Structure 1
């Protein structure tokens, strides 16, 4: 059942589910999403330090930052899609929502660019350390890329930089190449302009007014523990 969790309860719930077979996480909205799960039979290495939960596997990582007042909503859509939405109050959950390419700081020696997807609850960033791509994106800053044929998009796909999709609860880093046809196993991202419609979640899941999903936990349909586990 829907529950308002504090930090400790949220971590307890995640610790139960995170290592169960087939479980995955995602951040994003329709058309703009990053997914985190280990490829094949590879394990995810989980670590908790200073209140932050980190999972790593070949191809990427996830960092979850617990907070208080997280609305946990278990869902089951027609017996084929089940899991939890973890929501924050709307004023907290909203991200930058840029609609043009923007410089977004740095990470280590790399430069971050917000691709300008305009998503309500997730910023879609690319991590740029190649000088040629950095020059291309610097020249294109302030221009609309998503849903266009801007040449900078081809440069991004060709260079295949790491991507960082972040919400107020979690961020997923994907280091594998950008898929242009078949979705790869393991961590990956999707940026599909035709599916960006302003929605933050499947409308078959009843999210109360004033709350927005910031992290999704996906659970295999066959897992008998859902929706129980160690949920408070």
Structure 2
């Protein structure tokens, strides 16, 4: 059971991070993820209940700081240097969602972030994920009729009409977890299209078949499952992965989060400590922490490594749902 002081610290982390438009958010699993971000001057609507979050014209995020919610700050080694994030984790025994394997109609989405969406019909896409229900939502009669034709069938079955019509329908995408939801309102890009600058979703069947809850490179402590993620501003790339001049203030800001919410054993390795044989940290993650430390030292000395940050994204896939 989390202490009251720790629960308050988690709530403060979420509230402060949500107030900063420089942060991006994700909710999902390996191969299926919804992302929320906003522009600094974008109009924001507050939520009408006790959840933490907001809605814009392009999407919404609504989170609940459960007592068992554990933030895990981490860095991973990638081609251009490193990525960083704060995974929002629940105990493995407390994270499970519906795990439906076929499309199911759920009825009106009474928990929608915006009141105007609460009569729209929600459909679970049946991706059979442990900690996330990937859904779509619509109030359009034709779209509802099409989605109902696919109920009871796997989404990716060739006989299911939903897959052929999903781009044209472009329903809201609504990803749900025990700690909250992310909603995406922007149209789904067509074949060959790219993700919009703003809230969007990624679904890739090949990654889904792995059954993983997160990438193997992500150092999540044993017994915990990441349901969502906070993605603070990165020191050398913007939200779209384009390179920017190295920003030491962004680097320092994440190190503060790493000190507070990172794995102490992994931090010790990063700072030159030995990787003990009995450590819960894997040798793979320990080696990655050392590489991150080395490349960060080079950036801090002004020795910028000119590589393509767009090649960093392990899960970068085209919009599908």
Which residue is equivalent to 1:220?
A: 233
Counterpart contact for 1:60–1:172, Cα < 8 Å: yes
Does residue 209 of structure 2 align to residue 184 of structure 1? no
Deviations along 1:147-206, one digit per CA (max 9) or x if unpaired, are 646322122221111111111112011111012320101111112212212111122222
By percentage of residues, which structure has more strand?
A: 1
Does residue 150 of structure 2 align to residue 140 of structure 1? yes
CA RMSD, Structure 1 to Structure 2 (Å): 2.5
SS at match of 2:256: coil
Does residue 114 of structure 2 align to residue 110 of structure 1? no
Matches of 1:46 and 1:95, distance apart in 2: 28
Counterpart contact for 1:25–1:35, Cα < 8 Å: yes
Which residue is equivalent to 1:14?
A: 14
Which residue is equivalent to 1:96?
A: 98
Matches of 1:192 and 1:51, distance apart in 2: 33
By percentage of residues, which structure has more helix?
A: 2
Counterpart contact for 2:146–2:161, Cα < 8 Å: no
Structure 2: gaps spanning 5 or more residues: 110-117, 236-249, 262-321
Counterpart contact for 2:29–2:227, Cα < 8 Å: no
**Higher RCO (CA 8 Å, separation ≥ 6 residues):** 1
Greater shift, 175-184 or 16-25, is seen at 16-25
Matches of 2:135 and 2:68, distance apart in 1: 27
Matches of 1:178 and 1:109, distance apart in 2: 22
How many aligned positions are there? 229
Greater shift, 148-157 or 19-28, is seen at 148-157
Structure 1 residues 89 and 109, CA gap change in structure 2 (3 angstroms): same
SS at match of 1:80: strand
Taking structure 1 as the reference length, the TM-score comes to 0.88
Q: How far apart are residue 71 of structure 1 and its match?
A: 1.7
Does residue 134 of structure 2 align to residue 124 of structure 1? yes
Structure 1 residues 128 and 21, CA gap change in structure 2 (3 angstroms): closer
Does residue 181 of structure 2 align to residue 171 of structure 1? yes
Structure 1: gaps spanning 5 or more residues: none
Matches of 2:59 and 2:147, distance apart in 1: 23
Does residue 169 of structure 2 align to residue 159 of structure 1? yes
Which residue is equivalent to 2:215?
A: 202
**Residues 59-70 of structure 1: pairs in structure 2 closer than 5 A:** 59-70=58-69
Q: How far apart are residue 136 of structure 1 and its match?
A: 1.9
Which residue is equivalent to 2:75?
A: 76
Greater shift, 165-174 or 20-29, is seen at 20-29
SS at match of 2:163: helix
Taking structure 2 as the reference length, the TM-score comes to 0.65
Matches of 2:214 and 2:157, distance apart in 1: 21
